[in-house]
Amino acid sequence: MKNFIVFSFLSIFLIACGGDSSKKSTSARPKAKKAIKADDGKGVGEIKNVKLNNPLDEEMVKKGLAIYDTKCSACHKKSAKRVVGPGFKGVTERRKPEWTMNMITNTGAMLDKDPEAQKLLEECLTRMPNQNVSVEDARALLEFLYSNDAKG
Give tens-digit pLDDT for 58-112: 999 999 999 999 999 999 999 999 999 999 999 999 999 999 999 999 999 999 9
Residue 21 lies inside a defined structural domain of this protein = no
Residue 3 lies inside a defined structural domain of this protein = no
Residue 112 lies inside a defined structural domain of this protein = yes
Closest CA to 41 of 102, 86, 106: 102
Is the four-CA dihedral 60, 61, 65, 71 of positive or negative sign? positive
The interaxial angle of helices 58-67 and 135-150, nearest 10 deg, is 100
Residue 25 lies inside a defined structural domain of this protein = no
Round to whole Å and give the CA distance between 133 and 101.
10
Residue 12 lies inside a defined structural domain of this protein = no
121: containing domain: 58-150
Whole-structure pTM value: 0.74
What's the CATH code of the domain at 66? 1.10.760.10
> C-alpha angle 95/101/106, rounded to 5°?
115
Domain count, the chain: 1
